[in-house]
A and B are shown apart, each in its own frame.
Chain A
Amino acid sequence: MDRLLFLLATGIARGAIFALFALALVLIWRAARIVNFSQGAMAVVATYVAFAVTAFTGSYWAGLASALVAGAVLGYVVDRGVMRFAPHDSPLAGVIIAIGVVMVLQSALGIAFGQQYRPMAAPFDQSPILIGGVPVFSPYDVFVLVVAVVVMAALALLFTRTSLGLQLRASAFAPEVSRLLGVRVSRMLTIGWMLAAAVGALAALLLVPTELGLSPHSADMLFVYAFTVAVVGGLDSPVGALVGGLIVGVAISLVTGYLGATVAPIAVLVLLVAVLLVRPGGIFSAREARVA
């Protein structure tokens, strides 16, 4: 029982990071109908910026802020520099270009910084607090959860309560009509990329201190798991990203704990196939009609 609680807590803490990253995927999907395969690589680039800034200033928070800025800048560059020119007649073009961006960014990082892991310190203690003798969340886990909740709440407010959010949603759902109404859809698309890339960068930044350290491949598995999360939840659904993130995080934790680490990727595959066979658009798919 204790062990179950412990594994659940661990799964939730990691699931929150998956959910954040998946949310970033959902944001771009909604805005541009592109699954941003390059998001992991973009997030790692931003995390390198954060690493450098933290090393230079000695402040974790300056690093965090710079990761958000760097993420947004990258989002701008990738959108305006590459994605905007993607042929619109093929739904595959965006995916393929994104794969190209991954290859470019990761190899550029490898050439610039080499492959070694650069350990990143967490801003809070990572030792779990004992509750009734059971180690549950560490202060850092709590920090991660709080950040995840705050970011999601802020995004929800942005999208539902502000005119920018209204324009972002309208541009995503009906770009042509929005333009006829004077909405600068192209700018909204770029803002969507910047927002998503910043959120993705934040997720990677939160993940790295719990792992071996920063390397050009730090976000590879994060992307795979978060993509699973987004697909399980439904690419159109931010709520799906949140719920999917927790499901996948807890599932991986339980499988690793009870069946072994080796089985985890198989469990993810099985989960993915099972969900999609029952609901081909993910658990929270709005409707079948809106497809790429």
Chain B
Amino acid sequence: MSVESELSGRGASAADSVRASATGMGVGTPSSAASVARASTTGRRRTRLLGTALVLTALAIGGTFLLDPYRNYQLALVAAYFCATAGLSLLIGLTGQLSLGHAALMAVGGYGYAITANALTDAGVDGVARFALAILAALGASGLVGLLLGLAAARLRGPYLAGVTLALVIALPAVTAVFSGALGGDQGLQIAYDDVPPALATIIAVEQWQAWVAIGAAAVVVTVLSGIRSGVLGLRMRAVRDDEVAARLNGVRAGRVKVFAFTVSAVAAGAGGAVLCFVTQSVSPGAYTLAFSLLLVVAVVIGGLGSMLGALLGSVVIVLLPWLIGTLTGAMDLPADLTQRLSGNLPVLVFGALLIVVTLLWPAGIRGALPARLSLRRRVSPAASSPPTPAPPTTAPEQPTQE
């Protein structure tokens, strides 16, 4: 899985590699030999990345035929969440910026999509043109908000950034209420429904078509993110995370790297929101709560921070676990009152416990605990190295280590 391949291994070495790359090929004028070498590795890497992306996408699309409509809907949700978690994972895992507001960024994408799609519908545009333009608008809107937020974020550290993003997601319903004319207040916006293209109408159901679109969008987003992650930019992000001062001394413009990371991550979240809007034909503030934002963080953490595969696994878990638990409690013959109390609460309890247990005992997430087969293959691969270190060994918080 080259989605997983990493140029640099353990965090401590990232700054060193940047040091090397900064002198050789990074920010300054690169020596020609180094740039040639870089071009060829980059080229190889790109080919492999695209190849993997195509295979995985084809697999996922093929898989939709095995699923009934409701599972295809769940698959579409997973794909939409995957866009957002992949972006969030990149942000937290690579630059160490914790955003608790990615639900709001998804909402921006959703609203961007809905407003544009509705305007186009009124103008008589539909089909692929409407979808493409609306997606572009969604990406633009979320990118813009992400850029503004990223500009603020670059100046802020850990808890302060978390505070701003938290306030953002809390303010979302207020914003939609204040601009209820354009954003529809509490009820949000509804969009016209895109039916299956006529050519496919006899083969697939609408849920399957929606899953295809969602998978396609996720594939594009995640491929781009993987490219960034394993490229020079990813290296710089890690360097900034590990030691901002050292990175600066080596010519990495830490501020720019952070703003870039935040913007990219926001665009990915916006794409997820737009896909969700496409699949459900609606966007509303109640769907993008703080709880959902935290759930995205849960997905990223239990999947494995900084890892694309981890983001995917995390998205699967947050979609399937509540459903699974609901099915289980439904199957048990419990008193109605207890069932009512368990419903909704039990999944949250399990998520919370998972979050704690994974962080304490299993810091690389599900991704880090995958069977050795995957890691073996990675070991053989020249461009890959050890599993991602989710926890940057930074200048650790001063804290006693034991009793």
Is there a contact between chains A and B in the complex with CB atoms less than 8 Å apart?
Answer: yes
What sequence of 0s and 1s flags, for each residue 161-189 of chain B, a beta carbon within 8 Å of any chain A beta carbon? 01110111011011101100000000000
Distance of B358 from chain A, by nearest CB (Å): 9
Asked if A265 and B174 make an inter-chain contact with CB atoms under 8 angstroms apart, the answer reads yes
Asked if B398 and A266 make an inter-chain contact with CB atoms under 8 angstroms apart, the answer reads no
Number of A-B contacts (CB under 8 A): 186
Asked if A262 and B177 make an inter-chain contact with CB atoms under 8 angstroms apart, the answer reads yes
Asked if A227 and B360 make an inter-chain contact with CB atoms under 8 angstroms apart, the answer reads no
Asked if B349 and A272 make an inter-chain contact with CB atoms under 8 angstroms apart, the answer reads no
Interface size class of B (residues with CB under 8 A): 35 or more
**What residues of B have a CB within 8 angstroms of the CB of A266 in the complex?**
171, 174-175, 178
Chain B binder among A3-11, A96-104, A148-156 = A96-104
Asked if A97 and B96 make an inter-chain contact with CB atoms under 8 angstroms apart, the answer reads no
Chain A binder among B130-138, B150-158, B270-278 = B150-158
What sequence of 0s and 1s flags, for each residue 249-286 of chain A, a beta carbon within 8 Å of any chain B beta carbon? 00000000000001111101100110011001110000
Shortest Cβ distance from B398 into A: residue: A175
In angstroms, Cα B363 to Cα A278, docked, is 35
Asked if B342 and A89 make an inter-chain contact with CB atoms under 8 angstroms apart, the answer reads no
State the interface size on chain A (CB cutoff 8 A): 63
Asked if B171 and A269 make an inter-chain contact with CB atoms under 8 angstroms apart, the answer reads yes
Chain B binder among A52-60, A106-114, A125-133 = A106-114
B108: CB under 8 A from chain A? no
A77: CB under 8 A from chain B? no
B392: CB under 8 A from chain A? yes
Q: State the main secondary structure of chain A at its contact with B.
A: helix
Asked if B294 and A99 make an inter-chain contact with CB atoms under 8 angstroms apart, the answer reads yes
Asked if B160 and A111 make an inter-chain contact with CB atoms under 8 angstroms apart, the answer reads no
Given the known interface contacts A100-B359, A111-B346, A272-B167, the answer about A262 and B174 at a Cβ–Cβ threshold of 8 Å is yes
Asked if B163 and A111 make an inter-chain contact with CB atoms under 8 angstroms apart, the answer reads no
Asked if B355 and A269 make an inter-chain contact with CB atoms under 8 angstroms apart, the answer reads no
Chain B binder among A12-20, A28-36, A157-165 = A28-36
Which of B92, B159, B170, B355 is within 8 Å of A103, CB to CB? B355
Q: With contacts A96-B297, A99-B355, A103-B351 known, what are 4 further pairs, Cβ within 8 A? A: A99-B297, A99-B298, A102-B352, A104-B352
A-B contact pairs, 18 of them (CB 8 A): A89-B391, A91-B394, A97-B356, A97-B359, A100-B298, A100-B355, A100-B356, A101-B356, A102-B352, A103-B348, A111-B341, A176-B400, A224-B170, A266-B171, A269-B167, A277-B152, A277-B155, A291-B158
